[in-house]
Structure 1
């Protein structure tokens, strides 16, 4: 197998890689690095978790090490565009780590924070600028940054930037950069709009493709609950209370829904943090930091906010609301089973989400196992389906009943696995697999949440005062 030392990277970059303990590149790194070291443009089609960030950071830093120079005031030698603040921060951290043996200057330009510090950093000039398109355009319009000397530009998660409406901003940014540049475009998917973008801005690009989006990692054990919308919060609290839950990401369709889930879980004695576009930059950084450190074992997120989240040891992904795009399902559950570990992905399917489930199963080419629920929680499949897509579910009450929520010895007694093909074995507590490889359990969780607390160390959980009413996530 190829070693990093065989790819032609500069010595300072190789030293930084060795200091991190890496010796062998991932498939996309092995394909992309030699091409990028030649100065060619490149289109990379790869999901998160494939090592794509290092696939462009390493060769760009290596070329900079081989051609040292000091950036002039308000200039940036390398520009990296990302759709979200979280992804921008993750990329900047990679630049810091792999550029640790070089005298690099870097800056992050994102929304949600006051621009003064960014303006001061840009005034000195930087080697690497990581930015979101909107805030970068703001600084360009005020004259705080000048891209006329930029040597290379990366469009990371291009499909997500397009989904978020950044295409006009991207075009304005690209027009300000010299045509004699190296341009890299990375995307999880390659719809015709992204192909058109590549044709407009890249010159005879090489193309590398790794891990198509329709194939989730083999070590992700997937299952589905056909559940009433009003019963989703109660079911979620039961799953997250079970002993084999180490660290979970819960996906909701909306920002409001994410906040409601956090409040409900707090009333159940489960500490969670929410991350979405309505949160300030500092709130998002704190929430993600608490999740990474294990202070908050549950992170509730929307799809857009989750781009850039790369946390080891996520044991569970729960789709509280089903995504309306089947590709988003694969992106979501790919947050678990990283670095050779196994993971569990559970999805709650309401009556108006059954069509989404069919689309997902068609994409991944298999039927996902169903888990039976007690009658008070189970969806009546004889009812006609409600239309989708939708953004709001009908409101309704629904306290926490005793019938569907019985647990003994920390294990739920109301769910059994049934139907579906391609399962990987038995269930413990209504969820896939009785054991998992890897993923150290957090031994010291002690966080208060609303009416109760979750305590770790001995694995015991004290439940808070139940929430007496709930409106379905919207």
Structure 2
């Protein structure tokens, strides 16, 4: 009977396109959700391949006609051959995503909700610098401050999620786990429990950092700092949603020094956050990694 909407992962969509189970000849609306994540994971060629299956005959004209609202409205409401709308949703816009947008979008309108690539203005950011062995103790101190559930705790590795969630359960906390090693049903069950109030804490990897909306998350705790600032921005965006305010607390160790500079900038760009001296004055927070040559390297560059 045909379908009006197809929601797909990249690999499976390419599979059905190549086997001609699906034809996109009449497709008029394309959404690329979390485009930056797809690019980060190396799926840019797959995205391009899928877009090439969509006909170019219904592309919006690259002329001033595209800026005429009346003509665009007529085409949308009455035209047999509607112009294709290609939409990209992303909280961050790295260079690769901008390149993709330039290649496949014609005269795009850019809509900002908040500031792209920057922390939300209602999220108060905090950091604590410590040794790796101090994290467990400091976490209990933070949870004892009485943040209202639900709370999300981010850990970088799946094994770390399991260990931390089980440890919290033994201490009497109502925690559940969420990571890529869990099946889809298990992840949905964990989310539904958190949303319903059956669980108070979600311990998760970056899988929970995007595309998940849980109402009234009071705090995001980065037990492990994200490996890059883009993932950090997505993580802390799980709180302070829909007009609410929230707190994002991050545990930092010397192993996270490569992101100190970017993290400092995120604090400075936030109207509700104050960068602590231990971060703002830290030597690794003064310059972006790779931008400053050592004296010896400068000399080698000059004499080369």
TM-score by length of 2: 0.74
Deviation at 1:359, TM superposition (A): 2.3
Contact 1:213-1:327 within 8 A present in 2 as well:
no
Name the SS for the 1:126 alignment partner.
coil
Structure 1 residues 324 and 174, CA, compared in 2 at 3 Å: closer, same or farther? same
Deviation at 1:215, TM superposition (A): 4.0
Q: Of 210, 223, 233, which aligns to 1:307? A: 210
Structure 2: gaps (5+ residues):
59-83, 290-304
Structure 1 residues 255 and 286, CA, compared in 2 at 3 Å: closer, same or farther? same
Q: Of 175, 189, 193, which aligns to 1:272? A: 175
Contact 2:176-2:203 within 8 A present in 1 as well:
yes
Q: 5 Å matches for 1:201-280?
A: 201-213=104-116, 215-280=118-183
Name the SS for the 1:209 alignment partner.
coil
Contact 1:327-1:360 within 8 A present in 2 as well:
no
Deviation at 1:232, TM superposition (A): 1.1
Deviation at 1:162, TM superposition (A): 0.8
Using the alignment, how far apart are the partners of 1:157 and 1:196 within structure 2?
15
Aligned length: 253
Q: Of 360, 365, 371, which aligns to 2:268? A: 365
Structure 1 residues 139 and 256, CA, compared in 2 at 3 Å: closer, same or farther? farther
Structure 1 residues 358 and 204, CA, compared in 2 at 3 Å: closer, same or farther? closer
Question: Which structure is higher in helix share?
Answer: 2
The corresponding residue for 2:245 is: 342
The corresponding residue for 2:26 is: 149
TM-score by length of 1: 0.49
Name the SS for the 1:128 alignment partner.
coil
Contact 1:249-1:300 within 8 A present in 2 as well:
yes
Q: 5 Å matches for 1:127-138?
A: 127-138=4-15
Q: Provide, for residues 189-213 of structure 1, a one-character-per-residue CA deviation record: whole Å limited to 9, x for no partner.
A: 3332112212222223223333224
Name the SS for the 2:185 alignment partner.
helix
RMSD value over aligned CA atoms? 2.7
Q: Of 292, 297, 310, which aligns to 2:200? A: 297
Structure 1 residues 298 and 263, CA, compared in 2 at 3 Å: closer, same or farther? same
Stretches of 4+ aligned residues off by more than 4 angstroms: none
Q: Of 67, 84, 88, which aligns to 1:185? A: 88
Using the alignment, how far apart are the partners of 1:364 and 1:168 within structure 2?
35
The corresponding residue for 2:73 is: none
Q: Provide, for residues 375-405 of structure 1, a one-character-per-residue CA deviation record: whole Å limited to 9, x for no partner.
A: xxxxxx99x9xxxx9xxxxxxxxxxxxxxxx
Contact 1:249-1:301 within 8 A present in 2 as well:
yes
Structure 1 residues 339 and 192, CA, compared in 2 at 3 Å: closer, same or farther? closer
